[in-house]
């Protein structure tokens, strides 16, 4: 049915690539955009292009940023001795939202996965070790997810980092096993940071 309106079909196909968006929802969104004034559609298209043009990864912590190094890495008010390791930028955002952590971050851009054969070489591990060898970090807070992958990553990190004489801690449980950090509420993340335990 959509074949007769190629430009509409094209938008539906693009929207349906979004996570959690099926063809039905994509069609609904396309009709919504069709009814919007031209300026609104331009604002959306512009925002998407700006995102791709301006945002890259911080060369120090690998969080998403518009400036390199990112504002978190250059903020003088943060504790240089505390470094929090997360899997993804959205996990960093979850911890920032909880307002419980005032150190700096390192985003691994993934997690070790025995089941998928993803080893340390595929992640930002060597960059992390390089940062730790700089000597300023006293404590590494491992804030990986409470999944098999997150647990494997935490165990591996503890084994690599402890010999450097750096304290390694992990978010306290209270975050249920199997959870992705991005879906945990702020208060729980806050308690988990406050109650972090040695690994």
| Of 2, 152, 166, 172, the one binding another protein by CB under 8 A | 152
- 79 binds another protein per the rule CB under 8 A: no
- 112 binds Zn ion per the rule CB under 5 A: no
The binder of 61, among Zn ion, another protein, none, by C-beta within 5 to 8 A per type, is Zn ion
Determine contact, residues 22/16, Cβ cutoff 8 Å.
yes
The binder of 62, among another protein, Zn ion, none, by C-beta within 5 to 8 A per type, is none
Instruction: Write a three-state SS string for 113-163.
Output: ECCCCECHHHCCHHHHHHHHHCCCCCEEEECCCCCHHHHHHHHHHHHHHHH
Q: Which 179-198 positions form the footprint of another protein (CB under 8 A)?
A: 179-180, 183
| Alpha-carbon span 55 to 58, nearest angstrom | 9
The binder of 58, among another protein, Zn ion, none, by C-beta within 5 to 8 A per type, is Zn ion
Q: Which residue has the tokens 């000597």?
A: 135
Q: Which 70-99 positions form the footprint of Zn ion (CB under 5 A)?
A: 70, 73
Tokens representing 110 are: 């993934």
Beta-bridge partner residues of 141: 84, 169
SS3 60: coil
- 81 binds another protein per the rule CB under 8 A: no
| Of 46, 71, 119, 195, the one binding another protein by CB under 8 A | 119
Determine contact, residues 181/142, Cβ cutoff 8 Å.
no
Q: Name the minimum Å distance from CB 17 to another protein.
A: 12
- 15 binds Zn ion per the rule CB under 5 A: no
Which residues are near another protein by CB under 8 A?
19-20, 112-120, 147-148, 151-152, 155-156, 159, 176-180, 183
């Amino acid at each position: 049915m959509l074949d007769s309106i190629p430009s509409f079909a094209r938008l539906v196909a693009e929207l349906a690539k979004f996570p959690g968006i099926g063809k039905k929802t994509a069609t609904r969104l396309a009709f919504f955009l069709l009814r919007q004034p031209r300026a609104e559609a331009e604002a959306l298209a512009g925002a998407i292009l700006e995102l791709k043009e301006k945002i890259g990864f911080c060369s120090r912590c690998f969080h998403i940023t518009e400036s390199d190094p990112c504002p978190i890495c250059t903020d003088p008010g943060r504790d240089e001795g505390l470094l929090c390791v997360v899997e993804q930028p959205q996990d960093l955002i979850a911890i920032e939202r909880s307002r419980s952590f005032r150190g700096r971050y390192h985003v691994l851009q993934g997690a070790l996965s025995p089941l998928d054969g993803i080893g340390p070489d595929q992640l930002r591990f060597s960059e992390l070790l390089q940062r730790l060898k700089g000597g300023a970090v006293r404590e590494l807070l491992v804030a990986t997810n409470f999944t098999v992958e997150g647990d494997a990553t935490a165990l591996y990190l503890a084994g690599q980092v402890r010999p450097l004489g750096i304290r390694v801690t992990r978010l306290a449980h209270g975050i249920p096993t199997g959870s992705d950090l991005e879906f945990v509420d702020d208060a729980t993340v806050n308690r988990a940071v406050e109650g972090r335990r040695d690994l």
